[in-house]
A and B are shown apart, each in its own frame.
Chain A
Amino acid sequence: MRIRLLLVVPSLALAALLTPVAAAATSDAPWPQYQGSAARMGDAIQAPAPPYRVAWSAATDIGDASHAAGIPAPVIADGDAIVVGRESVDAVDLTTGQPAWSAPRSLGPSSPPAVVGTTVLFVEGGGDESVSASNSASAAPSATASASTSPTKSASAPSVIASPSATTTKSTLVAIDASTQRRIWTVPLSDVSHTGVVVAGGVAIAGADDGTVTAVDPATGTQAWSVDVGDHVLAPMAADDEQVYVCVRPETNGTAQLVALKLSDGSEAWRYQPSASVVDLGAPAVATDTGGSTVYLVSSDAALRAIGSDGTQLWAEPLYTATSGSPPAISSDAVYVADQSGTVYAFDRSTGAERWRFATNHGAVGAPVVTATAVLQPTSDGAVTAIAPDSGHRIWEGSVADSAVFGLAASSDVIVAAHTGSAPGITALQADPAGTLTDVASPTSADPAGLAIGWLAAALPLTAALVLIGRSWDQRRSEPLLAPTDDDDLPIDPWEADLEDDDT
């Protein structure tokens, strides 16, 4: 244990020195918003290092695989893990795993909440968008953000980004006091909301399906501004100190756009539009350094894009398959993202050069989280995979559920995973001193020797057996397979005719 601490503490300190951007992006609470902060960087330098073991599991109202909808990603504040369920907002004590409190919520798609002090901000209402409701209504809105033809099992994985709602009900932005669970204020929104809440620059912001983005004072609920940015706003938004970044999905035909709105008044700073083949953009994450902010996000053409502070594209790199639309995780020098097949990538932040990729082959729905020692990727079959940021090798993998893990949150003691499945809820992982780390290379890494051995081991005996069977049958055969034809009736071999033609 002492050796472990001796190793971990310096590494955490070193990581903190190397990641000034990440440190600046966090607030007093360890993980008060989706992916840790308004920037959605998913950086958790304070998190425990793998290997992990399950500390506790707690049931919440996320719903099983047929009833879960939206993004029930957790946040952490005041010693509690908080997640928005179907009809309640549930808080679980991080230390004991016992329910801390629960507040009722109108039925609607789950979305990430935000915590400011003791105020919990979340969106409620919008109706039942789960698979079971869609099946019963026979009017299922499409659940994919990206056009994927993947034949792998991840093709059926749910998407982080919803489709425009088919329901007629509207959502409401709600603020409650975490200590009493009493409602402080409510603000009706113009349509169903899937974006969750982002708090930055002194305002709490939520988007709606009809393209409206509304900012309010988190203390009073007084509207600061409201703008219509386009057709549909569905993905969680990200913000830095000056702007909020909103992805706009076109109504039917058209190209998706990323819009930067000024936090001060909601005016449009710039609008980025990728090539015409991009019909949707994933949730953005933003990193700020001395050169300004850079927005990182995935697009429906299976690419990761970096957008500069003036709205110009810095680089775009291909992924192997489309993604579920989750935001990438950002460290001081790298961007980490996962596609639907479960392949996790590391790209250089400034150049976009791919450093490594690791195929987990689990499917990925939730966003990755990067700690000082690992990139943690939740998967669609209930696992959490830890990949070494430097080598790209898998160093740990464990199961927390039997279905999709929608998101992670990290404190200094535990990693919290919100998941659906037969026992939907929150599961906490803590460091396991007795556990062991692995060092597994990606299945996408070339292994000529393994390739040759596998081929020889399968091909040689199979082929030999088939040839022997064929010979055996051929020898036992008493008559020709095809009834013989009278030789006089045989026509000329066309090949011979060709030869004759050549001669003449």
Chain B
Amino acid sequence: MSNGKKKRKRPSGSTSTYRAPAQAERPRRGLLDSILAPRTPGASPMPKLRTTIAKGTLTALGIPGLLIAIPVVLLLVWVLLTLVGFQGPFTALGVTFAIPPVTTFADAQVAGRAFRAAVDAKGLASTLPGFVGLAGLLLLHAALSAVIATLCVEQLRTGGTSSWALRRALRVIRTTAAVGLLGLGLLVAGNLVAALFGSIGVILGLVGSMVVGVYLFGFAPAIAADEDRRVSDILIRSVRASRMPGSANLWFAIGYVLLALISVVAPLPGSEIGVTPSISAWAACILVNLFGVLVQATLVYRYLVVAPEVPEQPPQRERAAR
């Protein structure tokens, strides 16, 4: 994992002792090379799901700043959205700390109401407000996901957090934004499938695209926070990590997406039109978003455990070679 550079001391004033793996020069490959490549043979180094979830939960709960940030961010986002005309339902904020493309799914609905074009607007004016709103929400989720990833990486590596996480998050945003864009693309593709195949297509297309997004790119924020790589390399590595054998990552992604969708469509407190959420609506929203944070922390832990085992090259197609 080392690039052979000599080790250096952290600048004075920094309390964290975290040292992340540095960038290694690797041959560039296409994203599809990793998706279509055969899975890495052998036993899985992935920890069991139960262990992963427990450790991820402990990681997130061990960062007080992150726990305090959840309601604070929710309040800020809600105030901003209501200022631009959004009037609910408040449950739309349940995906604030979720993982793309689940976030994008709800963002499209929020953007359609909060960033609506004027009646009878034509051309660019008819699409620009919604596009800008969607882009803004995508960047918001990217920033939050980046901060969560860096905080969890530092917590796991050092047992504590420092300003390093926030500084590092500025670099991770590129990756999390790319993941958000990929999620948007997957959702668009999923909508096409849904349109073609009717009600079954909704499950295949929409839910499937969300599962694929979480499954393939769920590790990307952790990789970006822990390693110095190009965005494309990070995405490829995330795909490789997710496809490690016996990892149950697909089931993890399916379970997360279903639970996240339930939290979006369920008649939770705050599912009505209105700009003053009740106490129960706030509580439900905080808990739903805590769930999203725990899942992200779980993915970070899961990746850090197996990081040394994730192959840099796609496994050879042995059968074809023979």
Contacts and interface: CB of A to CB of B under 8 A. Distances in A.
Given A469-B61, A491-B1, A481 B55 contact: yes
Interface string B267-293: 100011111111111110011001000
A454 B281 contact: yes
A494 B167 CA distance: 11
Contacts of A462: 71, 283, 286-287
Contacts of B88: 359, 443-444
A181 to B, nearest CB: 44
A493 B301 CA distance: 19
Interface string B62-80: 1110011011100100010
B262 to A, nearest CB: 13
Nearest to A303: B119
Contacts of B281: 454, 458
A361 B272 contact: yes
B192 interface: no
Contacts of A446: 82, 275-276
A474 interface: yes
A492 B8 contact: yes
A359 B71 contact: no
A37 interface: no
A182 interface: no
Contacts of B271: 151-153
A499 B11 contact: yes
B5 interface: yes
Task: State which size class the interface on B falls in.
Answer: 35 or more
Interface string A360-396: 0100000000000000000000000000000000000
Contact of B59 (A275, A481, A496): A481
Q: Which 4 A-B pairs have the closest CB atoms?
A: A443-B274, A470-B61, A458-B282, A459-B71
Contact of A359 (B8, B60, B273, B279): B273
Contacts of B301: 481-482
Contact of A277 (B11, B109, B112, B126): B126
24 contacts: A149-B112, A153-B267, A316-B119, A318-B119, A342-B273, A443-B272, A443-B274, A454-B276, A454-B278, A454-B282, A462-B287, A467-B67, A481-B59, A481-B62, A489-B1, A490-B7, A491-B19, A493-B8, A493-B10, A494-B228, A495-B168, A496-B8, A496-B9, A497-B228
Interface string A447-465: 1001100110111001100
Contacts of A301: 119
Contacts, number: 193
A341 interface: yes
Nearest to A458: B282
B68 A467 contact: yes
B189 interface: no
B265 interface: yes
Interface of B: 1-3, 5-11, 18-23, 55, 58-64, 67-68, 70-72, 75, 79, 82, 87-89, 91-92, 108-109, 112-113, 116, 118-122, 126, 155-157, 159, 164, 167-168, 171, 227-228, 264-265, 267, 271-283, 286-287, 290, 301, 304-305
Nearest to B57: A473
Given A153-B267, A494-B171, 17 more contacts: A275-B120, A320-B273, A321-B113, A359-B88, A442-B274, A443-B276, A462-B287, A489-B2, A492-B2, A492-B7, A494-B228, A495-B20, A495-B164, A495-B167, A496-B9, A497-B8, A497-B22
Contacts of B264: 151
A354 B155 CA distance: 52
Interface string A321-358: 10000000000000000000111000000000000000
B312 to A, nearest CB: 14
A492 B22 contact: yes
A2 interface: no
B11 A496 contact: yes
A459 B286 contact: yes
A48 B276 CA distance: 33
A351 to B, nearest CB: 14
A492 B24 CA distance: 11
